[in-house]
Amino acid sequence: MTTPAMPYRRLGHAGLKVSALSFGSWVTFGGQVDTGLAKDCLQAAADAGVNFFDNAESYAGGQSETIMGKAIAELGWKRHTYSVSTKLFWGINGDLVNMRHTLNRKYLMQAIDGSLERFGLDFVDLVFCHRPDPDTPIEETVWAMSDMISSGKALYWGTSEWSAAEIRAAWDIADRRNLHKPVMEQPQYNLMHRERVENEYARLYDDIGLGLTVWSPMANGILSGKYLNGIPEGSRAALPENKGLRDRVTDPDTNAKVAQLVEVANRLEVTAAQLALAWCMANPRVSTVITGASSVNQVHENAGSLVALERIDDQVKAELDAIFA
C-alpha cells in the first residue's frame, strides 16, 4: 500500500504551514522512550513528511524537552526544516510560589528560557499557554506572550484548553494594544470528544483566524481498538498511574462503539487507529493532528492514516457520527 504524500496546512490565518500529522512526546519521551529510540521515531516521522514536533515544559518534568532536543541535535537537522513547540503553565520547580500553575509575567519569562535551554535552541516556533490562569489578568499574560514573540524566543503564541471567551478576550486585548495576537489553540479532539472544536470555537475560525493543533486523536488509545480484549501488557492503560484510563477502556458502552469503529475500518481496509486519525484530519478547521508513538512501527502505522483519509467520504462520516452520537 503506497502512502499518499503528507498534506501541509496553514496554522489558521498564520503563514506557517504544518504537516497534517505531527509528532508529540506527551506520554512517551522520558517515560517509555529514551534519546536513542526518540531519534528513530523522530526520523521516521520526518521521513513520512512530518515537520511539526510538539512538546511541553511539564512533560516528564522537563526530560521530554531535553530528550527531543538531544535527539534533534544528534540527527543534525537544519533548523529551517522543522517546527517545534512548547507549552507553559504547570511549572517544574516544585511548589514555589510564582513558578507553578500560573501565567504571570515572572513565570513565563523564566519558563521560556528554561525550555530553550533544555531544547538547546535559540527559539521555539510555537509556544502555548498550557491552561488558562484565573489568578492572573489576561492582559498581563498577553503582554508577556507578545514580548516573548518580540524578543525572538518564539515565533507564534497560542493557548491550550482555553474557553472560546478566554481566547477572544486575549485576542481583543492584543488587537487594542497592537500586540502579537494568539493564533492557535491546542484542544483535545477525537470521535468521543468533539463539543469544543465543533461548536464552542465555531465563530473563532473565521472571526480571528484560529488554527488548531489537536491532541489525543485516539482518546488515549481507546479508539485504536487495542483494549477490546483486555488491557495489553506494556500499554498505556497498564501503567500504575493510569487507573482512570483503565476504568474507561473497560467500559462496555465505550467498547461497543469502538467495536463498530473497527468494523468500519475493516471495510475500508485500514486500522481503527488510522481511521480515527483520518477522521480528525478530515475536519478542515484542524491544522494538524498530534500523534504519539513509542516505536518506529507506531510512527509508520500513524502515517497510514493518510490512506484512510482518502477513503473517508460523506457516508463514512455519517456512519461514524451515528456510532459516536
pLDDT at 286 over 70: yes
Rounded to the nearest 10 degrees, the angle between the axes of helix 35-47 and helix 63-75 is 60
Handedness of CA 174, 175, 181, 182 (dihedral sign): positive
Instruction: Provide the pLDDT confidence category of residue 279 given band limits of 50, 70 and 90.
Output: very high
Q: What does the pLDDT read at residue 142?
A: 99
Q: What does the pLDDT read at residue 192?
A: 96
Average pLDDT over residues 204-228: 95
**Cα–Cα–Cα angle for 208, 213, 216, rounded to 5 degrees:** 135
Average pLDDT over residues 174-200: 98
pLDDT at 243 over 80: no
Which amino acid appears at position 316 of this protein?
V
d(CA 281, CA 193): 15
Task: Name the residues annotated as catalytic.
Answer: 59
Q: What does the pLDDT read at residue 3?
A: 87
Query: Could you tell me if 209 and 14 are in contact, meaning their C-beta atoms sit under 8 angstroms apart?
Result: yes
Q: What does the pLDDT read at residue 88?
A: 98
Handedness of CA 49, 204, 154, 130 (dihedral sign): negative
Q: What does the pLDDT read at residue 30?
A: 61
Query: Could you tell me if 61 and 31 are in contact, meaning their C-beta atoms sit under 8 angstroms apart?
Result: no
Cell 502579537 belongs to which residue?
180
Cell 488509545 belongs to which residue?
221
Q: What does the pLDDT read at residue 33?
A: 64
Is the domain defined by 10-219+283-294 classed in CATH 3.30.379.10? no
Query: Could you tell me if 219 and 193 are in contact, meaning their C-beta atoms sit under 8 angstroms apart?
Result: yes
Cα 86–chain centre separation:
10
pLDDT at 248 over 70: yes
Q: What does the pLDDT read at residue 246?
A: 74
User: What tens digit of pLDDT does each residue of 101-123 get?
Assistant: 999 999 999 999 999 999 999 99
Q: What does the pLDDT read at residue 28?
A: 63
pTM of the model: 0.94
